[in-house]
Amino acid sequence: DTEVTQTPKHLVMGMTNKKSLKCEQHMGHRAMYWYKQKAKKPPELMFVYSYEKLSINESVPSRFSPECPNSSLLNLHLHALQPEDSALYLCASSQDLGIYSPLHFGNGTRLTVT
Amino acid sequence: DAKTTQPTSMDCAEGRAANLPCNHSTISGNEYVYWYRQIHSQGPQYIIHGLKNNETNEMASLIITEDRKSSTLILPHATLRDTAVYYCIVRVAQDTGRRALTFGSGTRLQVQP
């Protein structure tokens, strides 16, 4: 079990659909992250939020739109995705952005774009 | 952040110690060594981190060489549940605005029965 909960676990969407991935943590963490992981590859950082403000955007295409409505929730809004966006999307949180704050990951949402 | 080099894969017999090496020859004085692992179909899991002293917790031990150019993660009694990809990551300590983890390719550890 993980303390970072991601929903849904699996998602299939067409290229014209709009969908959202959700992430929730109740550990009081103030930093939250989105990673993308393709099969047999390491996770790649997409976005970092610190105290509900976007801190890092790793040049992610605008069809991915993050949102942090409060300190416990992190969303990733998806629109007009391409088949190559199919991947495992991982959410993580940490106490803050400090070096002593390990990241806690959820088990991800497996996204398939058809 | 410094680059890390790890073997692509390793095998270990169940019940034996698993020693996973990592080279980080360009590490600087304010960079920490972190280890995570990712079991199949799960998110990465934090294991341990250290600066220059050896560290031990309930999961593993971390041995860092005196020159800090390499480290070894030790799982003292490997079980089948330790089969996973193990990532060695180096993170800078100062406020660069980019402290989030960047994963390398990792080592795929297969624990054999």
Whether residue B100 is predicted with pLDDT greater than 80 in this model: the reply is no
DSSP state of B42: S
Among chain A residues, the shortest Cα distance to B87 is held by A42
The tens digit of pLDDT for each residue in A59-98 reads 899 999 999 999 999 999 999 999 999 999 999 999 988 7
Whether residue A51 is predicted with pLDDT greater than 50 in this model: the reply is yes
Contact A107 B98 (CB under 8 A): no
Contact B43 A2 (CB under 8 A): yes
The tens digit of pLDDT for each residue in B23-81 reads 999 888 888 899 999 999 899 999 999 999 899 999 999 999 999 999 999 999 999 99
Window B:84-113, CB contacts with A under 8 Å: 87, 91-93, 97-106
Window B:15-34, CB contacts with A under 8 Å: 32, 34
